[in-house]
Amino acid sequence: MREHIRYYRPQSVAEAVALLREHSGKSAIINGGTDVLIDVRSGKFTGDCLVDISRIQEIKGVREHDGAIIVGAGVTIEELATSRILQEKLPALALTGINFAGRQIRNVATIGGNVAHASPSGDTQTGLTVYDAVGLVASSEGERTIPVCEMFKGANKSALNDTDLLLHFIIRPCAAKYQHFEKIGRRKDLAISRASLAVLIDQDSDGTINFARVSLGACKPSTGRMPRTEDFLLGKNPRLSVFREAAKSMSAEMIAITGRRKSLAYKEPAIEGLLLRMLIPLL
Amino acid sequence: MVKMKISFILNGRPAEGEAVPAQTAVSFLRDSMDQRSVKEGCGIGECGACTIIVNGLAVTSCLMTAAQLDGATVETTEGLAKSGNLHPLQESFIQHNAIQCGYCTPGALMSAKALLAENPEPTRREIRKALAGNLCRCTGYQQIVDAVEDAAKAMRGKTDGEGCR
Ligand code: FES
Ligand code: FES
């Protein structure tokens, strides 16, 4: 069943983009292969060629440029979790790599693949959207930037075209003192997220919250910031009752997006508890 | 069917084979390179039975194409024993009864080897974390963690000793 699949291994972005254009509609990009090869096996992949971008140096590595952090689309989840720059400057993003599948998968799965595959439970999206990350995409028409929050059309539906190649993410570090990411899965390791949450909070010297960002993943058709919850937190003083209310407001905001689904009996208290747990260190 | 030549380093020696490029690395290693230690369990990256080491990193060979091995340095359990002597990890797995049916064992050995190469003195927690992607239906894991912990000690003893001499 794999015999008819042609295989290309471009060495540069330019070469990859030309191949994607030539094979538009029939190709899949692979890097770590941890999503695409599952589709090949199950028969969900119906194309006839794979473009393997794992040898393209231009899309690898984490670096600082002009006050922003540039994270290559080819950065593996393990690199994400262990990068000094990310741990220091974008801790909520680095944390998304820690409990992501097993080590064997983390060693090859990439942040670009996680985003491009638009998995509703992709943890990295939660960490990227909380920082308002922007992706740089190349195609035969040239390069363009797209905010990560606009890269999803719905569960497993990416807004990227099949001729697009994600090159890197551009992320501005945030001065907020408290930056955190947590997720809930069925078990501790390897679990696919049932809910993930990234939070950036800053406070005045008297404790008043003067900056709040909250991004929720794995609970809606896509991942992204929760503006109503953020507004609710702004100007508040940390108190348990306030945080309980914030948690309620976040689940209401989620329901406004998803409607009342069957899984809600689980998800509603789960995400409320998750936000509460993440805010309690501020008390 | 267009086959591709795969040239790589297999357990320290140059090796070459032909593969359908999109074929999985596990099927290529087993069927064309005679590496029967590499097991396919789930085929979808969840069980770790197919774990091998590529360029120093533990990876699941069921979610890797044969073509991705081209030019790489690959280790399998076949390469562990040296001149008839078992690797300390293998010795330790036997001593601790960390093997029952044995299907998960080569994969667990590979994860453990990659761990000890980057962290010769892992805590039990770190061992569990490194082997979290290796499922075992038989042993209950305790023995495997014990085996890796002891092998690490044995291997440190050896290199420390050599360092002193
Ligand atoms: S066979 Fe590869 S992870 Fe199960
Ligand atoms: S020994 Fe049987 S699965 Fe581990």
Supply the CATH number for residue A217's domain.
3.30.390.50
**Tokens 């329901």 map to which residue?**
A255
**Domain presence at residue A99:** no
Residue A184: CB atoms within 10 Å = 18
Number of domains in chain A: 2
Taking the Cβ of residue A27 and every Cβ of chain B, the question of whether any pair is shorter than 8 Å is answered with no
Residue A57: CB atoms within 10 Å = 11
In chain A, residues 191-220 whose CB comes closer than 8 Å to chain B:
none
- Tell me the backbone φ, ψ of residue A144, rounded to 5 degrees: -150, 160
**ipTM confidence:** 0.93
CA distance A278 to A198: 9
Instruction: Give me the residue from A7, A32, A105 closest to B22, CB to CB.
Output: A7
The string of pLDDT tens digits covering residues B10-50 is 999 999 999 998 999 999 999 999 999 999 999 999 999 99
**Domain presence at residue A202:** yes
Give the pLDDT band of residue A31 (cuts 50, 70, 90). Answer: very high
User: Residue A191 in contact with residue A226, Cβ under 8 Å?
Assistant: no
Rounded to two decimals, the pTM is: 0.94
Range of the structural domain that residue A29 is part of: 6-52
Residues of chain B with pLDDT > 90, as a percent, come to 92
Residue B164 has what pLDDT?
42
pLDDT at A2 over 90: no
Long-range contacts of B2-6 (CB under 8 A, 24+ apart): B2/A6, B4/A7, B4/B66, B4/B67, B4/B70, B5/B70, B6/B66, B6/B67, B6/B69, B6/B70
Angstroms from A232 CA to nearest CA on chain B = 38
Q: Which helix (H) or strand (E) holds B57?
A: strand B57-60
Angstroms from A205 CA to nearest CA on chain B = 38
| Segment B110-129 mean pLDDT | 97
Which DSSP category does A104 fall into? Answer: H
**Domain presence at residue A79:** no
Q: Do A7 and B4 touch (CB under 8 A)?
A: yes
CA distance B162 to B157: 9
Q: Do B63 and A33 touch (CB under 8 A)?
A: yes
Q: Report the residue of chain A nearest B52, measured CA to CA.
A: A104
The string of pLDDT tens digits covering residues A122-171 is 789 999 999 999 999 999 999 999 999 999 887 778 889 999 999 999 99
Q: Which domains does chain B have, with CATH numbers?
A: 4-79 (3.10.20.30), 88-155 (1.10.150.120)
Q: Which CA distances in Å does A153 have to A81, A110, B103?
A: 27, 20, 41
**Domain presence at residue A138:** no
pLDDT at B158 over 50: yes
**Domain presence at residue A140:** no
Angstroms from A250 CA to nearest CA on chain B = 32
Mean pLDDT of chain A: 92
**Domain presence at residue A20:** yes
Judging contacts by C-beta atoms under 8 Å, the chain A residues touching residue B24 are 37
| Segment A46-62 mean pLDDT | 96
For ligand 2, atom 3, the nearest C-alpha belongs to B136
**Domain presence at residue A1:** no
**Strands (E) located in chain A:** 6-8, 27-30, 49-52, 62-65, 68-72, 134-139, 142-147, 152-154, 157-158, 165-171, 178-184, 195-203, 209-217, 224-225
pLDDT at A119 over 80: no
